[in-house]
């Protein structure tokens, strides 16, 4: 096998890797807001940031499960019986880890919120804070 064939095979494998790994689709924030308003699907919006970040402001209706607790709390996601799970963190790194955890648990309809919380705030979209105790 010559180097050209090897290079082509490697390139094909690299291009297929995201699909093999269960590539996550993105959802635009405006599309998410419209879908939530339409209430035609059960959408679980999952905030995987820290407690402090969540309390400082989050997407309205979001459920908070920090990414490093998700594996042990996956039953909470499954109990919600969502049609789709939309995941976000501050900028995307923790969300990617959480999305992989969800897919490994067999949850297929996992979406990444474009822009994450930073983009949400920068666009002046609505945020909520937990009620004070």
Catalytic residue IDs: 89
How many angstroms separate the CA atoms of 39 and 33, rounded? 10
Give ∠ CA 28-38-109 in degrees, rounded to 5: 55
Helices (H), 26-90: 29-38, 51-56, 74-79
| The pair of three-digit structure tokens given for residue 14, joined into one six-digit string | 């690299």
């Amino acid at each position: 096998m010559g180097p050209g064939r090897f290079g082509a095979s490697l390139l094909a494998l690299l291009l297929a890797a995201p699909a093999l790994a269960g590539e996550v689709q993105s959802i635009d924030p405006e599309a998410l807001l419209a879908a939530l308003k339409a209430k035609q699907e059960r959408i679980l919006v999952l905030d995987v940031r820290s407690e402090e970040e969540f309390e400082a402001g989050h997407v309205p209706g979001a459920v908070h499960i920090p990414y490093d607790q998700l594996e042990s709390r996956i039953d909470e996601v499954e109990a919600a019986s969502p049609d789709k799970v939309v995941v976000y963190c501050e900028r995307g790194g923790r969300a990617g880890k959480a999305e992989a955890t969800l897919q490994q648990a067999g949850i297929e309809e996992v979406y990444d919120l474009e822009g994450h919380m930073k983009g949400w705030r920068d666009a002046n979209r609505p945020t909520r804070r937990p009620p004070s105790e």
